[in-house]
């Protein structure tokens, strides 16, 4: 900028020297003054703009540096987080690895113990085929005893006893023969028990319930059966005077009413009361069915007795009523109590035999285990 000013001053001096006459000097001086004023102003503006650009550039540089610092800080924080997570992951992996190694060691120890136990079990003489047959036979005998106590039927109990006998049949020992004889006695005892025909009793009671609807109420004593045509219409052989006499007697019967008060007056049974009585009998028969299924002789006799007393309210001379009374009387003679067999002696004998075998095998097994440990 200083070199530009010197060049302009030289130009102005040359211009003053070359002017031909002195008249133009004031104008040239004014132009020179104007030029001298514009040049510093223009230089000042240029300098101000340059300063603004420099300030703006400095501001942008400051912001850029701040953004770079923020980015570096964020990046450092993320790196720290990643390092922390990596450390935690490494610790977790180490912990899992230690746990897996410990579990593997425990599993190895258990596997070795199991192998030893299995080897000992294989060496034991108790786990032979004959001994398993004894255990199976004992299981069937226990099932037979439970079934005989809780079940009303004897077929399943006999089948279980026979199954136990078929298993013991494969063994040839004197003590086994004693157990089989006890099983045979138990089978004979169960077969000798009287059986209750549950299905037959239930079907008879069901048939009795179906016949309840055929019951009829009793007629009043004053009611008479309407005369038939043979009684009302005179025959050709009857004399006329007898016919007229009968007609006259009929008219007199309608005019004169004879009442007797020496007998109890029975009330007329309403249809609702009749339905209630029938439903009561039906409920009694259903209770009898329940008593048959539960082997309750007392309830069975009680409800049949109540049904018989309720039947007296119906027409006892009716054929349906008489048939139902006869059927209930026959059902009263039935015995619904199923006798249960007493516990047999086969199971205790077999348990004693198995215990004796265990006691005889125990010392030999202990000797084998001591040899394995040494």
pLDDT of 55-81, one tens digit each?
889 888 888 888 898 888 888 888 888
Q: Which residues contact 135 (CB under 8 A, 6 or more apart)?
A: 354
Q: Contact 272/292 with Cβ under 8 angstroms?
A: no
Considering only CA atoms, which of 288, 293, 292 is closest in space to residue 306?
288
pLDDT at position 283, please? 93
Pair of tokens at residue 366: 């202990």
CA–CA dist 336, 298 (Å, integer): 9
**pLDDT computed for residue 19 by the predictor:** 45
Q: What is the mean pLDDT of the chain?
A: 76
DSSP H helical segments within 221-343, as ranges?
229-232, 240-255, 271-293, 297-311, 319-332
Question: pLDDT at residue 338 above 50?
Answer: yes
Local structure of 238: helix, strand or coil: coil
pLDDT tier at 287, thresholds 50, 70, 90: very high
Rounded to the nearest angstrom, the gap between the alpha carbon of residue 31 and the centroid of all alpha carbons in its chain is 116
- Sequence-distant (6+) residues with CB within 8 A of 289 are 201, 202, 205, 206
pLDDT in tens, 80-115: 888 888 888 888 898 888 888 888 888 889 888 888
| Res 302: pLDDT | 92
Q: Which of the four pLDDT bands, split at 50, 70 and 90, describes residue 2?
A: very low
Report the predicted TM-score, pTM, of the whole model to 2 decimal places.
0.43
The answer, yes or no, to whether residue 257 has pLDDT greater than 80, is no
């Amino acid at each position: 900028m200083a070199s530009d000013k010197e060049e302009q001053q030289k130009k102005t001096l040359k211009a003053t020297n070359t002017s031909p006459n002195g008249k133009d000097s004031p104008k040239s001086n004014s132009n020179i003054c104007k030029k001298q004023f514009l040049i510093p102003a223009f230089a000042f503006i240029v300098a101000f703009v340059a300063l603004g650009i420099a300030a703006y550039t400095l501001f942008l540089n400051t912001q850029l540096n701040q953004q770079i610092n923020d980015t570096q800080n964020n990046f450092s924080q993320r790196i720290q987080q990643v390092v922390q997570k990596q450390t935690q992951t490494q610790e977790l992996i180490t912990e899992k690895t230690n746990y897996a190694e410990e579990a593997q060691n425990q599993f190895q120890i258990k596997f070795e113990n199991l192998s030893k136990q299995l080897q000992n079990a294989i060496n034991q003489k108790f786990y032979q085929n004959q001994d398993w047959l004894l255990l199976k036979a004992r299981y069937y005998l226990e099932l037979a005893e439970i079934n005989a106590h809780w079940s009303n039927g004897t077929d399943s109990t006999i089948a279980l006893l026979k199954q136990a006998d078929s298993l013991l049949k494969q063994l040839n020992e004197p003590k086994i023969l004693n157990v089989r004889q006890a099983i045979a006695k138990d089978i004979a005892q169960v077969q000798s028990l009287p059986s209750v025909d549950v299905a037959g009793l239930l079907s008879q009671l069901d048939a009795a319930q179906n016949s309840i609807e055929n019951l009829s109420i009793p007629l009043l004593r004053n009611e008479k059966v309407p005369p038939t045509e043979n009684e009302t219409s005179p025959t050709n052989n009857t004399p006329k005077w007898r016919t007229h006499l009968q007609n006259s007697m009929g008219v007199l019967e309608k005019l004169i009413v004879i009442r007797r008060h020496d007998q109890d007056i029975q009330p007329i049974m309403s249809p609702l009361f009749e339905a209630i009585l029938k439903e009561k009998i039906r409920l009694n028969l259903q209770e009898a069915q329940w008593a048959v299924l539960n082997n309750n002789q007392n309830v069975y006799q009680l409800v049949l007795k109540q049904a018989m007393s309720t039947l007296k309210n119906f027409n006892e001379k009716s054929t349906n009523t008489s048939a139902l009374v006869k059927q209930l009387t026959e059902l009263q003679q039935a015995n619904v109590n199923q006798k249960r067999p007493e516990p047999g002696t086969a199971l205790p004998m077999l348990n004693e035999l198995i215990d004796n075998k265990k006691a005889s095998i125990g010392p030999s097994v202990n000797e084998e285990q001591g040899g394995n440990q040494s």
